[in-house]
Amino acid sequence: MLKSLHIDPMKCTGCLQCEMACSYEHHGVINPSKSRIKVFSFEHEGRKVPYTCTQCSDAWCMHACPVEAITLDAATGAKVVSESVCVGCKVCTIACPFGTINYVSDSGKVQKCDLCGDNPACATACPTGAITYVDADWTGLDKMRQWAAKANTAVAAE
């Protein structure tokens, strides 16, 4: 079963445990500035939104890369950057419509979410269930369940 990161901004408190976990997983340090998932805070609306790569099937970054440094991990569906091949040209960062692949000045390469080899550290670290790793074909399952529950109540009320 292919899985996807599923994000529910309504559950996010903005604690940044996900950013810390991501940076530790990939860089061995606690450093949100190196995280591949980013929590945005919209202060005046009181909203926090975690945002990261959604692993497009037909990925702009992959097509744009002139040296084929971005490849598909068939097991997870992740589009993975090969650091040894990447030349740091940043064309992928322009091609990506969502901004979720980014240049790292320390390494001179780009980085993006690779789903941690099928065990995303951000989802494990999230204390509220705002970030989960679920069946890719059923990312809407929880919402469907919620609406289904309401439908039942409505019937019962009549």
Partner 1 sequence: MGWNRKVLRVNLTTGTCSTEPLNMAWADKYLGSRGLATKYFVEEVDPKVDPLSPENKMIMTTGPLTGTMASTGGRYSVVTKGPLTGAIACSNSGGFFGAELKFAGWDQIIFEGKSPKPVYLYLENDKAELRDAGHLWGKTCWETEETIKHELHDPQVRVSSIGRAGENLVRFACIVNDLHRAAGRSGVGAVMGSKNLKAVALRGTKGVSGIKDFKEFMKVTAEKKKVLADNAVTGQGLPKYGTQVLMNVINEIGALPTRNHRDVQFEEASKISAEAMHEKRPTDGKAHLVTNAACFGCTIACGRISEIDKGHFTVQNNPKYWGASGGLEYEAAWALGAANGVGDLEALQYANLLCNEDGMDPISFGATVGAVMELYDLGILTAEAIGVDSPFGSAAALARMAEMTARGEGFGKELGEGSARLCAKYGRPDLSMSVKGQEFPAYDSRGIQGMGLTYATSNRGACHLRSYTVASEVLGIPVKTDPLATEGKPELVKAFQDATGVFDAAGICVFTSFAWTLADIQPQIQAACEGDWSLEKLNEVGERIWNLERQFNLAAGFTAKDDTLPPRLLKEPAKTGPAKGLVNGLDKMLPEYYQVRGWTPEGVPTEETLARLAL
- Point out which residues bind partner 1 (CB under 8 A): 13-17, 20-21, 23-24, 27-34, 43-48, 125, 127-128
Q: Which residues of 24-55 are buried (b: 16+ CB within 10 A; e: fewer)?
A: bbbbeeeeeebbbbbbeeeeeeeebbbebbeb
Query: For partner 1, which is the closer residue by CB, 4 or 132?
Result: 132
User: Smallest gap, in angstroms, from Cβ of residue 7 to partner 1?
Assistant: 16
- Please identify, using beta-carbon distances, which residue of 21 and 61 lies nearer to partner 1: 21
Closest approach of Cβ 57 to partner 1, in Å?
31
Which of 29, 23, 14 lies closest to 102 in space, CA to CA? 23
CB atoms within 10 A of CB 87: 13
Taking the complex as a whole, the smallest distance from the CB of residue 59 to partner 1 amounts, in Å, to 27
Cα–Cα distance, 110 to 84 (Å, whole number): 11
- Residue (49 or 56) nearer to partner 1, CB: 49
Nearer to partner 1, 46 or 97 (CB): 46
